[in-house]
């Protein structure tokens, strides 16, 4: 039943309309503005990471992607492109059901943080790496299968190196000590947290030659919870802008000192014709342009660095460094 207005109410309404004190559209707008906007919230998928924290995680892993691409390019001697494809938060159950079976799931710890994380590498990428390391062109098989014992050992060494790079990418936030726990192939048998636990999933788009695939990094919220306050742009940029310390210089120097260099001792030189080269027989002697007592040039890479004296050390041939060749302003010995 419709409500019946009294005569006083009708008079008041007519008076308000005649004086433009109230317009229906304005009344509707006022009614609409009185209601607060409602934001949908899914209690099954609570958002535990703020936008700033997600952006910081993305910045860290963009650096991780660059370091990984450099490592794989040098290790496999081919062009490797790795970029961050997406960073999102979802439940662990959603992450597990999004993976193929079989796949390569590398479960690792990152002390001092508690709990496990997962570095999942698509099988097409794994078999491309294996084929390349075994001397092939870098092609994945047509059908995906489990790893053999030998392939598992090879990939384990590669994963250990990627975890060491993971440590480098996070060093501005926290000093981590990643350790590979186990390699699994069936996602359904891998349970590091409860299915409803929230995780941050970083997907890397990876391209090895003509093959493409994804590398997924899954870190549960409970693992990052102790350092969640450090996942801010201010803390990240403050860490990247730190001044170079003696400890950093020493660490870089230690890494450079481990680099291998080719050293060549040149006893002398000679020029012969192609005809003479073709007529050489065992026992023939080639006359060099240097004398017995002349110093021997010692090359480091492609540079003349030292002068030395040839000789023997035990049963092996050797050369003793006599002096350092200084080129231009290079006075390093």
Locate the domains of the chain by residue range.
51-257, 263-324
Distance CA 322, CA 298 (A): 10
Q: pTM of the full predicted structure?
A: 0.60
Tokens standing for residue 51: 């936008």
What is the dihedral sign for C-alpha 147, 150, 156, 157? Answer: negative
Q: What is the mean pLDDT of residues 166-185?
A: 91
SS (H, E, C) 144-169: CCCCCHHHHHHHHHHHHHHHHHHHHH
Residue 242 has pLDDT above 80, yes or no: no
Q: By mean pLDDT, which of 37-46, 91-100, 166-175 is the weakest?
A: 37-46
Q: Judge whether 209 and 109 are in contact, CB under 8 Å.
A: no
Q: Can you tell me whether residue 66 is helix, strand or coil?
A: helix
Q: What is the mean pLDDT of residues 237-243?
A: 52
**Could you tell me which of 99, 87, 85, 88 has the C-alpha nearest to residue 207?**
85
Considering only residues 272 and 19, tell me which one the structure prediction assigns the higher pLDDT.
272
Cα torsion for 3, 9, 15, 21, to the nearest 10°?
Answer: -70
- Chain centroid to CA 39: 36
pLDDT of residue 50: 85
Tokens standing for residue 261: 């260099």
Q: Which CATH architecture has domain 263-324?
A: Roll (2.30)
pLDDT of residue 328: 47
Neighbours of 205 (CB within 10 A): 15
Tokens standing for residue 138: 């870098």
Distance CA 88, CA 221 (A): 12
Distance CA 116, CA 184 (A): 13
Residue 2 has pLDDT above 80, yes or no: no
Q: What is the overall mean pLDDT for the chain?
A: 82
pLDDT of residue 1: 47
Angle, CA 40 vertex, CA 37 and CA 43 arms, to 5°: 140
Model confidence pLDDT, tens digit, residues 135-144 = 888 787 777 8
Residue 45 has pLDDT above 70, yes or no: no
Q: What is the mean pLDDT of residues 75-95?
A: 91
Task: Give the residues across from 88 on adjacent strands.
Answer: 201
Neighbours of 193 (CB within 10 A): 19
Tokens standing for residue 201: 């999933």
Task: Give the residues across from 316 on adjacent strands.
Answer: 313
Fold of the domain built from segment(s) 51-257 = Chemotaxis protein chec (3.40.1550)
Q: What is the mean pLDDT of residues 150-168?
A: 93
Q: What is the mean pLDDT of residues 144-170?
A: 91
């Amino acid at each position: 039943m419709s409500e019946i207005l009294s005569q006083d109410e009708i008079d008041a309404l007519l008076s308000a309309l005649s004086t433009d004190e109230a317009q229906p559209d304005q009344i509707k707008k006022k009614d609409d503005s009185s209601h607060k906007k409602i934001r949908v919230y899914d209690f099954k998928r609570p958002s535990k990471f703020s936008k700033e924290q997600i952006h910081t995680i993305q910045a860290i892993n963009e650096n991780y992607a660059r370091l990984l691409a450099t490592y794989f390019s040098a290790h496999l001697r081919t062009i490797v492109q790795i970029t961050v494809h997406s960073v999102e938060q979802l439940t662990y159950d959603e992450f597990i059901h999004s993976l193929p079976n079989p796949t390569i799931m590398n479960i690792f710890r990152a002390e001092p943080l508690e709990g496990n994380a997962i570095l999942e590498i698509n099988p097409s990428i794994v078999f491309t790496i294996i084929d390349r390391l075994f001397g092939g062109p870098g092609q994945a098989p047509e059908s995906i299968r489990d790893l053999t014992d030998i392939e598992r050992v090879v990939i384990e060494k590669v994963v250990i190196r990627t975890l060491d790079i993971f440590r480098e990418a996070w060093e501005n936030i926290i000093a981590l000590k990643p350790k590979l726990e186990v390699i699994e192939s069936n996602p359904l048998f891998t349970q590091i947290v409860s299915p409803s636990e929230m995780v941050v999933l970083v997907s890397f788009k990876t391209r090895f030659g003509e093959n493409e695939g994804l590398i997924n990094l899954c870190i549960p919220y409970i693992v990052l919870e102790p350092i969640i306050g450090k996942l801010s742009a201010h803390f990240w940029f403050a860490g990247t802008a730190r001044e170079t310390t003696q400890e950093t210089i020493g660490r870089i120097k230690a890494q450079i000192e481990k680099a291998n260099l080719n050293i060549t001792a040149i006893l002398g030189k000679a020029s012969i014709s192609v005809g003479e080269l073709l007529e050489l027989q065992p026992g023939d002697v080639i006359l060099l342009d240097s004398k017995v007592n002349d110093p021997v040039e010692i090359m480091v890479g492609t540079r003349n660095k030292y002068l030395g004296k040839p000789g023997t050390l035990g049963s092996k041939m050797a050369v003793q460094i006599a002096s350092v060749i200084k080129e231009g302003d290079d006075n390093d010995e």
